[in-house]
Structure 1
Amino acid sequence: MDTDTIDGQPRVVATDAALAFIDEIRKDYPDILFHQSGGCCDGSSPMCYPADDYIVGDRDVKLGEIGGVPVYISASQFEVWRHTQLIIDVVPGRGGMFSLDNGRERRFLTRSRMFDGGEACAIPLVKRG
């Protein structure tokens, strides 16, 4: 199933600030990925990991790529957020404990907008099981 776009709109995008921050992190860790966290400890922060340190689960859904970096979300969280476009941004603060933005005085933050009109009608359901 193509989950990267809805009616031509990408499911995940990044602000210019986020793209610049990704470039900065890639100087230290060239091969990275994002996983949209839904855990209790990190709230809904997009977590940034070295690609070889994170195992993408069988039920994770690839939302797309930002700055050439893949972005994943768990299937259960995708079901809840499938009607939204995720916008990865950067704000002052401390990143998640295991995320590569930690200790850089900035952190990634997910903003969102709901797909509307024809976009919402084009959203495919993810079949479970």
Structure 2
Amino acid sequence: MVKRLDVTEKALEVIKMLKEKHGDLMFYQAGGCCEGTQPQCFEKGGFYVRTNDAMIGLVDGFEFWIDRDLFEYWKFSHFTLDVTEGFGPGGFSLETPLGKTFKIIYRLFTEEELKDLEPVKRME
């Protein structure tokens, strides 16, 4: 099966620091105004996933959720979680005090990949 989500080594380094400080984590990518489409990292349970939101994979064992409407727009795309220097537009994510911002690098799946995608878990 083709994974919908990958993570860069640079992002894994930041996740390791966050895990040491905060314990179990979760990721959520919304399509709202304040945070734009910037992925946010929270302590596990620190954000309430909505009905029909999509969990597209795990990042270092932690769930990565996407807003249901945003997923419909990006469902034919592969996500790679990365990190960059600086503060994102929202500032609510756990990496913000480190002067970092998680970001997503997108690419479209190939026709072959689309035939064998990992299933998506939906919040009920």
TM normalised by structure 1 equals 0.83
Distance in 2, matches of 1:120 and 1:52, equals: 31
Deviation of 1:11 after TM superposition, in Å, equals 0.7
Matched residue, 1:14 = 7
Displacement of 1:121 in angstroms is 4.2
Specify the SS of the correspondent of 2:96: coil
Superposed displacement of residue 120, structure 1 = 2.6
1:97 Cα deviation from its structure 2 partner: 2.0
| 2:40 is the counterpart of 1:55 | no
Q: Which amino acid aligns with 2:79?
A: L
Q: Output the CA distance in 1 between the equivalents of 2:68 and 2:116.
A: 18
* Root mean square deviation, CA, Å: 1.8
Of structures 1 and 2, the one scoring higher in RCO (CA 8 A, sep 6+) is: 2
The answer to whether the 8 A contact 2:18-2:95 is kept is: yes
Deviation at 1:32, TM superposition (A): 0.9
Q: CA deviation at 1:46?
A: 0.5
Q: CA deviation at 1:43?
A: 1.7
Identity rate of aligned residues, in percent?
Answer: 31
How far off is 1:57 after superposition?
A: 1.5
- Alpha-carbon deviation of 1:92? 0.6
TM-score between the two structures when normalised by the length of structure 2: 0.87
For 2:74, the equivalent position in structure 1 comes to 81
Say which SS state the counterpart of residue 45 (structure 2) adopts. helix
Q: Which runs of 5+ in 1 are unaligned?
A: 1-7, 125-129
Residue of structure 2 equivalent to 1:107? 101
Runs (4+) off by over 4 Å: 121-124
Which of 39, 45, 58 is the aligned partner of 1:46? Answer: 39
